[in-house]
Amino acid sequence: MGTGTSLWQTAIGVLRPRAPLPTAIPWLAIAVGFGLLLLTWQLASNHYAGAGRSVLFPSPEAVWKSAIHYTGSSPDSVRDRTTLFTDLGASFTRVALAFVLATLVAVPLGVLMGALPIFEKLLQPVSEFIRYVPVPALIPLLIVLFGIGEAPKIMLIFLGTVFQLLLMVSDEIRRVPNDLVQACYTLGGHWDEAVTKVLFPAAAPGIFDAMRLCQGWAWTWLIVAELVAANEGMGFRILKYQRFLLTDKIFVYLIVLGVVGLVMDVLFRLAHRLLFRWQ
């Protein structure tokens, strides 16, 4: 059969490494991926519902209803919506402050580390060491040192990202072809000009990409920080809802976190494309 072989051929073609996909197949695959996620979710919730404990694991439908509730106009809906935006605002502020702080520290130091071998020897082994200290293990110490206000949370996110960013920035600087630096020298450039006019602009797209990745990790550390001691924030609210078994609301918060992460990622990618047209 003609169609039979062509379908077969499509199936085989899709499995060829690095082969371009025929039109519509990518969208189909994305839809199937999310479909599988929903299916797994539904099956899992069925399992709990069968035991009469559907409150432990709400079905996709229950979460959808809860999400709709957040858009409603009843006093309950308004209150929950206000809470969500307050939580999101508090969390976003923490991530933003810590991320800006980490960038301000890691980018200049990383550039120096990548450009000057003496700074590499001075900072690289130390950074590698600290990077492998699990950041949550620092929470008790941070609380002792900074109390339970905003400071320990921001410090936790800062510590969780700054060393990663530092190492990635220095790697990006080291990846710049030596030819470009030599060209700068033969044109009369001094060492500082080799850094500011060649190494940094050449590595800037990679550095920006590293910042995008770190921004994602910052949200992970945020939740860890808020689980411990807070009055508001996404992580705090999720813990609170756990206490009252409001699992459908937990799911709404999880979805919001996923969407925020995705939006941030897309914004970084867009900015990247605008800033570095030369690539």
Partner 1 sequence: MSFVLTDISKTYRSGRKTIEALKPTSFSVEPGEFVSLIGPSGCGKSTLLYIAAGLEEPTSGTVSLDGRVLRHPGRERGMVFQNYTLFPWLTVRENVRFSHQLRANIDYTRPVGEILRDSAYVDHLLEIMGLERFADSLPRQLSGGMKQRVAIARALANRPRILLMDEPFGALDAQTREEMQELMVLLRLHERTTIVFVTHDIEEALYLSTRVLVFSAHPGRLIEEIAIPFPDDRTLDIKLEPEFLRLKRHLLDLLHGGSRTGFDRHAILARLKGEPHTNTANNT
Burial track 240-253 (b if 16+ CB lie within 10 A, e otherwise): bbeeeebbbbbbbb
Residue 146 CB-half CA count within 13 A: 16
Task: Round to whole Å and give the CA distance between 223 and 265.
Answer: 18
Task: Round to whole Å and give the CA distance between 91 and 1.
Answer: 59
Task: State yes or no: residue 190 binds partner 1 (CB under 8 A).
Answer: yes
Among positions 28, 29, 38, 183, the unique one binding partner 1 when judged by CB under 8 A: 183
Task: Round to whole Å and give the CA distance between 188 and 226.
Answer: 53
Q: How far is the CB of 78 from partner 1 (least distance, A)?
A: 50
Tell me the number of residues near partner 1 by CB under 8 A: 22
Task: State yes or no: residue 242 binds partner 1 (CB under 8 A).
Answer: no
Q: How far is the CB of 191 from partner 1 (least distance, A)?
A: 10
Task: State yes or no: residue 197 binds partner 1 (CB under 8 A).
Answer: yes
Query: Which range, of 122-130, 181-189, 214-222, 229-237, touches partner 1 by CB under 8 A?
Result: 181-189
Among positions 189, 206, 216, 261, the unique one binding partner 1 when judged by CB under 8 A: 189
Task: Round to whole Å and give the CA distance between 236 and 206.
Answer: 34
Q: How far is the CB of 114 from partner 1 (least distance, A)?
A: 17
Task: State yes or no: residue 278 binds partner 1 (CB under 8 A).
Answer: yes
Q: What are the φ and ψ backbone dihedral angles of 187, each rounded to 5 degrees?
A: -90, 0
Task: State yes or no: residue 185 binds partner 1 (CB under 8 A).
Answer: yes
Which parts of this chain interact with partner 1 (CB under 8 A)?
Answer: 177, 179-180, 182-190, 193, 197-198, 201-202, 204, 276-279
